[in-house]
Structure 1
Amino acid sequence: MPSKSSPLPGPISSDHELLREILGGSPLGLHQTHHVVLPAARRSLEICLRSVNGVGAVWGDIPNHYENGEPTGPELDDISLFRLWAADVNQRYVLRFGCAAKLGCFTAVIDARTQEDLIQLLDKSRPPDTAPFIDDVLPAIVRSIERLGWSYIPLSDEYPLALFIVSPARKASIAGIKAAALREGIPFSQLQYITGRETWRLCPELRRMCRVSHGESK
């Protein structure tokens, strides 16, 4: 999932440079939110969903099946059928395809029980004629997080990182995610505000994953 920033032409020189590459020029005050950065992977998504008792839906995609297992069709552009994501058969799709960014296409997992008016509000942040950039849509998610409750957002199709952000009412879930990640050996980091700018200090394992994904040596 790209931002409008140009791809880094050479080696990653700093965590802050990587942040700007992924999120664009304005990091949105994410350090003030309740969040954690994890590897963009199925297990990360499973841990996050479990921590908030979430039923995931891939915002922007169409559910593949009705509750009875029959395949859906183009009529599911109707926003009222978003609830079909809660069906077990569609939950398998969420875990498989919602955990990581798709090439050149925005991906975010939100709750399948999200109210229709909020989905419509989020949809307005998507450019009508082009694929959305993360810096088009992430601000809308941040502004709406109190109503959304939570969102899992793969940050880039080039760098294997995902952001899990929760509302203030769910802030305790972040500690639970960190505890689960520690038990399972999954690395995590958070955004910080350091020397007058928002940045992050990635843990060594996440930094290594990004460098390898970028074609650099370990």
Structure 2
Amino acid sequence: MSSNGVVDNTSIDTTIFTSLQDKIDEETKTREELKDIVEILTKQGRLTQSLLARIHNCPTAQLQAQVLQPTAQSIQEQVITVTRLGQTASKYPFYKWNGIWQRDVQNLISSLQLYVWLSEGKLVTIEEVGVQFGVAVNVKETDTFHVTIEDYLLALCSTIEELSRLAPNAVTLGDFARPVQISRFIKDVYAGFQLLNLKNDALRRRSDGIKYAVKKVEDVVYDLSLRGLLSKEET
């Protein structure tokens, strides 16, 4: 109470703000710790994507030596970084911090998907992604670093976009069979997406774009067919 008899309610315990500052400092330290690792992953990812970009001007016969072999090594270096990131990130709530690394992890998944398709002509599953990265997939524990279904599907959308670019470029390089392979694959993926009831707005918008990729590649195949550049089996 003040000297004039009025109750003084303006006094505030300053330790409240001291405690808040401690929490702010702790979060800043966590963010910087994670960002340091993600910056390495980003740099490695740029190299991987640069290597894979060669598919658009590399003849199929030279693909293994000029693209796939160096890409495999680059992806492996990223996997080592992701393992380190997972060990660090698992100490903190996943969905509080995953925005820091989400884009880079999606890019790595897309690179792996593209690499596997070019090497084996198949779709890599989310479980196989987890095995390759040495991390969990689609887990419920809030603190465990993992690959989410959304990350996997968004990456797949990027992979399809890249393959739709490859189709006409392959024709330019004289590979008329590649667009047919791409067409079959992305049609199957598109059919798979039709089975999904997507709640994520960003994912739904990206997946809608697959139908345009399908149409783009279909036009390439149709043009090749009209020109008589495909065998009956391919047609």
With a CA cutoff of 8 Å and minimum separation of 6, indicate the structure with the bigger relative contact order.
Answer: 1
Give the TM-score taking structure 1 as reference length: 0.26
Pair member with larger Rg: 2
Q: Which structure has the highest strand share of the two?
A: 1
Q: Which structure has the highest helix share of the two?
A: 2
